[in-house]
Amino acid sequence: MKNQYQVELILDSKATLGEGPSWDNEKRWLSWIDIVEQKVHIFYPDSKRNRTIVVDQNVGAAVPRKSGGFVLALRDGFYLMDIMSEQLTPIAHPEKHFPNNQFNDGKCDSAGRFWAGTMEGNETEGAGSLYCLDLDHTVRKMVENVTVSNGITWSPDNKTMYYIDTPTLQIVAFDFNQETGSIQNRRVVVNIPPKTGNPDGMTSDMEGMLWVAHWGGYQVTRWDPITGELLNSIPIPAPIVTSCSFGGENMDELYVTTARIGLSEEVLEKYPLAGGLFRIQTGVKGVPMYSFGG
């Protein structure tokens, strides 16, 4: 399993909890977030400029909106954000009856629906759920009994949805109905070996393989969801690797976010690039990132 990939630091951001990279092919920028610093970032690869928008609560995910701006999954539910005025407009708060819960990770499907999941602040087992924000701004609960809702992605033909609840150390698959957004036939397709870091953010490539960031695992891995086989492991010079997604002109660059939260001074001295934003030339095209259509 030879590693033939070059890992490049493109922004020494020293993020406390960098997460959720999302490439906007039309605007040629990468949005990403720092959950606990309550920041939404827009990184422009050509100029290496990074714009930061501070919101007033923890942000679990930010996705572009077709009509402009972003849709955010914040601690207090779903919001629209105008990036000119930086103003937030609430849409829905499906867990206002669970004040200790917060959103963590999310992504849009090919029809423009926004999927995002929750977790309890102390990671209480089964306290979270996965939700789908439809184009008409109604919210559906799709998966219950979730502990740390994390990576979500779809197969290139949009017939399968993959999902990670981190403590399970598994990637599960569902049959996905692109027209209705319904999911069924849940099954485990990948088992992550213990002590390799916990599975966090995830994306997929046009060959149908899954790319997974490993929290505490110093790596990004590539898996075959048909066989469950590990295809490759790419070392990242940061202990906490949080998420990954494809972007770039040819959609063959993997953008990787990392974090510094909870790391000792000793570890930070050894891994000074922790919290940075990285890029990997993969040689394979990734599935596109979709914008929210509502």
Q: Tell me, what CATH number does 276's domain have?
A: 2.120.10.30
Residue 290 lies in a domain: no
Does the structure show a pLDDT above 60 at 195? yes
Does the structure show a pLDDT above 70 at 137? yes
Does the structure show a pLDDT above 90 at 4? no
Does the structure show a pLDDT above 80 at 22? yes
Residue 287 lies in a domain: no
Residue 1 lies in a domain: no
What pLDDT, in 10s, does the model give residues 238-270? Answer: 999 999 999 999 999 999 999 999 999 999 999
Parallel, antiparallel, or unpaired for β 170-176 and 59-64? unpaired
Does the structure show a pLDDT above 80 at 2? no
Cα 190 off chain centre by: 18
Residue 289 lies in a domain: no
What pLDDT, in 10s, does the model give residues 35-91? Answer: 999 999 999 999 999 999 999 999 999 999 999 999 999 999 999 999 999 999 999
Quickly state the pLDDT bin for 1 (edges 50, 70, 90): very low
Residue 189's pLDDT is what?
Answer: 98
| Annotated binding-site positions for a divalent metal cation | 19, 150, 200
Quickly state the pLDDT bin for 3 (edges 50, 70, 90): low
What pLDDT, in 10s, does the model give residues 156-194? Answer: 999 999 999 999 999 999 999 999 999 999 999 999 999
| Annotated binding-site positions | 19, 104, 150, 200
Does the structure show a pLDDT above 90 at 216? yes
pTM for the predicted model, two decimal places: 0.96
| Annotated binding-site positions for substrate | 104
> Residue 94 gets which letter from DSSP?
T
Q: What's the token pair of residue 79?
A: 């919001």
Residue 85 lies in a domain: yes
3-class DSSP state of 270:
helix
DSSP labels for 115-181? EEEEEETT--TT-EEEEEE-TTS-EEEEEEEESBEEEEEE-TTSSEEEEEEGGG-EEEEEEE-TTT-
Spatial separation of the C-alpha atoms in residues 286 and 294, rounded to whole Å? 24
Catalytic residues: 200
Number of domains in the chain: 1
Residue 168 lies in a domain: yes
Measured distance between the N- and C-terminal CA atoms of the chain, rounded to whole angstroms: 43
The total number of residues written for the chain in this structure: 294
Residue 82 lies in a domain: yes
Between CA 242 and CA 244, with CA 243 as vertex, the angle to 5 degrees is 145
Give residue 181's domain range: 7-281
CA distances from 172 to 74, 223, 226, 228 (A): 25, 13, 11, 11
- Mean pLDDT, the chain, rounded, equals 96
DSSP labels for 65-89? BTTSSEEEEETTEEEEE-TTT--EE
Please state the φ and ψ torsions of residue 76, each to the nearest 5 degrees. -100, 35
Residue 286 lies in a domain: no
Spatial separation of the C-alpha atoms in residues 207 and 280, rounded to whole Å? 17
Q: Is the distance from CB of 162 to CB of 204 less than 8 angstroms?
A: yes
Cα 128 off chain centre by: 17
